Amino acid sequence: MAIKNALLVDDSKVARFALSKLLESREMQVNMAGSAEEALDFLNNHDRPDVIFMDHLMPGMNGVEATKAIKGNPATAGIPIIMCTSKKSASFVEEARNFGVYNVLTKPPHTDGLNLVLEQLSSDVDKGTLPEAPGGSDFKVPETAEDEFSLPQDASVEMSPKSAETGQGSAAQQGPQVVPLTSDLIEQIARSAVKTHINNRLHELLSSLFDEQFDHLKRALDDADKKQSAALEERLGRVTAAIDKQTASLKDEVAAEVSLNLARELSEFRKELSRGGGFTSEHMAELKDHITSVQTIDTEFWQTLQSEAIQQAHEISRETAEDIAQRTIDLYASQQKASASRLYTIGLSVSLGIFAVGIAWLSGLFA
């Protein structure tokens, strides 16, 4: 399972800001708390994060006490905790893991170390090998920033005795162990106290300075963003107005040009239509005259054709009558020669005459 969201618990805004940027570069969702109490309240009222980055030293409840509270709650005991501290000795890491801390991240964090810790955490989550927090563990971590010296737990401090009283001092050591308060030990204790005080004070000053600079930068960025947005809106409004004006003018010019072109094209079309298409009154008059002339020609042609047909019929009738008459005459002559009866000849002549009269009547009928 990929680590998607984290909770940062640190009283320093500088530390929270630096670590949050590293986590956001890994596309993680980051929530932040400025104290251990705020972190516990966040866990009670929000969904549990995938990992908690806990600062070691904080005013009020420190990181150790917050870790004990988180691991003691069954609802949050399974959340892996990475403790952020400037101390990362082997013994400290071992004690922290025995207490329930998953791993220790050195402050200030670096990209390589953070990536290594998160990759190991992701692998353990996928494999189900996360260590379980031991119940009732009494893990103790020194709350000072540096451990430059150590004293026995039952040691008491007293002024160094004089040389003449050395024997008595030795006898007195049969009770509690006594550490002579030498000038070197005093100097060492004073140096450690001063260094601790300076580190704490420097941390407070840096946090305060960062808060002031952060607030000032945020206000400056907000003001710059507002001014830039207002200027952008104003410029955008001017550009929009200019574009609208140019668009309206261009629309009018285009409409006028289109209308002019359409009128020109329509006029040319009308001229072409009047020149080469459609029937005008002149064309109708010409067509009427042509039809009349054709009808006259047809009438004359049919009359001529009819006259020629009648004439040919007359000629054919005449030729046929002449041929028949000639044949009749020849037949009559032959019969006259062959027949001795004059009566027959007269009858035949009468018949021929009647026939000739009929032919003549027919010719007059056709005429």
pLDDT-derived band at 35 (thresholds 50, 70, 90) equals very high
Contacts of 148 (CB under 8 A, 6+ apart): 188, 191, 192
Strand segments (E) across 128-248: 156-159, 178-181
Which string of DSSP letters, residue by residue, matches 34-78?
A: SSHHHHHHHHHHSPPPSEEEEES--SSS-HHHHHHHHHHSTTTTT
pLDDT in tens, 174-212: 444 555 667 777 777 777 778 777 866 776 677 667 766
pLDDT-derived band at 151 (thresholds 50, 70, 90) equals very low
pLDDT in tens, 78-110: 899 999 987 667 777 777 787 788 988 888 888
Q: What is the DSSP letter of 27?
A: T
For the chain, give the percent of residues with pLDDT over 70. Answer: 77
pLDDT-derived band at 38 (thresholds 50, 70, 90) equals very high
pLDDT in tens, 108-147: 888 888 999 999 999 888 888 887 765 544 444 444 433 4
- Residue 321 CA, chain-centre distance (Å), reads 112
Give the pLDDT mean for 311-338: 80
Report the C-alpha gap between 113 and 120 in whole angstroms.
11
- pTM of the model as a whole: 0.44
In this model, does residue 327 exceed pLDDT 70? yes
Report the C-alpha gap between 347 and 105 in whole angstroms.
167
Helix (H, G, I), strand (E, B) or coil at 109: coil
